[in-house]
Structure 1
């Protein structure tokens, strides 16, 4: 500690392997919430999310796809709106998420952004996204692009989600799904399978230590300062 004069010892914690590698692990199926970004009847971002859910199920993952129909714009109503409450309950329920959006004018769709905007960083003293896993995907009307997945990664970092390295971008999505909305065999399908496998592995690997992974020095400093202030106040009374 002598080399770190600005460190507050009471808030500093050495890395404890026992906390990173717990002896007992959760053996239940990991839970993944999938969000998609289009309200069209033939929505390729929904088709991609549905295909991703099928793949996740094959990997032993429990999934739920949220239907954004009827979700108001952020701040257009109170958070007790049924669609908002449903979304927030599902975010609390899940161990990780998949965000699947079309690219609109070089960016994610408004439907996708509205869903993310309704997810709070803190909810009743609980941080519903912090430390959970995230996979990002996009569908393109034309040639392959990565604008949307790059934006989604920025939002995932802002929400303190563990965004996995792999990602999916499906070019000319209108030609990659059949009349029933099922994805045709292709390298794009293989990539989604890769992404979902990686998401399942990262989720199982990190969910038992989620709180420990995102526990950080700066917040412990604030907690110790607040505790000291309360102790001093009680002594003064």
Structure 2
């Protein structure tokens, strides 16, 4: 060890950060139900290639043993346009709460995700009552392009996934010239781009199986433990102070 480096940690609350025990990740509880995957897409066009790509992804997921649901963004109001009790908002939030993983599939428009895609994500809160509907769940990101291949949208989706505290898997899909990759039957043609979607869905299912029962351990954060302890201490001390004043 560098002689100029010490192990002194004066800023650390050692009671809130014990030495790491790897056994905490050996969860004896193993869920047996099929992984629950929600798919969102970013276009309401009659022939939406982001929807068609999501439908192909859903077929692959079901082949891999997953339970899939897809949200139709038509009639979803703009964020802040109405209250969260709007039927479409409530439907979306219920689905996000239900799922254990998600697929976000968006077209690239003007070098970015569509407003329809962003609106769906914006309607999902970080906290919903005592539940954090996205935190610790898995996410796969996909985009379809009208022209040459780009990764602008999947990169943006990754930023949002991190902000929503989702476990975004390493693999991703970007389909260039999507209009040429789907036949008149609206099915994706065999190609390396189709194979990549298979890869992404396979990886998503694996990550979901591996992490869904470990959410309490994966989401247990030092900063939140310190904050919770401070809040509890303040409440207890305030109660004691009020009690003392009452007694006198």
Question: TM-score category by the smaller chain?
Answer: over 0.9
* TM-score (normalised: structure 2): 0.93
What's the counterpart of residue 75 of structure 2? Answer: 70
Q: Does 1:147 align with 2:123?
A: no
Distance in structure 2 (CA, Å) of the matches to 1:51 and 1:215: 35
Q: In structure 1, what is the Cα distance between the partners aligned to 2:37 and 2:19?
A: 32
Deviations 1:132-182 (A, max 9, x none): 000000000000000000000000000000000000000000010111211
Pick from 153, 159, 175: which aligns with 2:164?
A: 159
Alignment of 1:102-181 (within 5 A): 102-181=107-186
Instruction: Using structure 1 for the length normalisation, give the TM-score.
Output: 0.98
SS in 1 for 2:128: coil
Comparing 4-13 with 91-100, greater Cα deviation is found at 4-13
Contact persistence 1:142–1:171 (CA under 8 A): yes
Instruction: Give the Cα separation in 2 of the matches to 1:232 and 1:2.
Output: 33
The one of 37, 51, 67 equivalent to 2:56 is 51
Q: Report the CA distance between 1:50 and its aligned residue.
A: 0.3
2:85 to 76, 80, 83: 80
Where do 5+ consecutive residues of structure 1 fail to align? none
Q: By how many angstroms is 1:42 displaced?
A: 0.2
Q: Secondary structure at the match of 1:97?
A: strand
Stretches of 4+ aligned residues off by more than 4 angstroms: none
**Structure 2 unaligned runs (5+)?**
1-5, 244-248
- Deviation (angstroms), 1:2: 6.2
Instruction: Indicate if the aligned counterparts of 1:130 and 1:161 stay in contact, CA closer than 8 A.
Output: yes
Larger radius of gyration: 2
1:219 paired to 2:220: no
Distance in structure 1 (CA, Å) of the matches to 2:101 and 2:29 = 20
Q: Give the counterpart of 1:31 among 28, 33, 36.
A: 36
- Report the Cα distance in structure 2 between the residues aligned to 1:42 and 1:131, rounded to whole angstroms: 33
**Mapped partners of 1:2, 1:172: distance in 2:** 55
Deviations 1:84-113 (CA, angstroms, capped at 9, x unpaired):
000000000000100000000000001000
Using the TM superposition, give the Cα deviation of residue 23 of structure 1 relative to its aligned residue in structure 2, in angstroms.
2.1
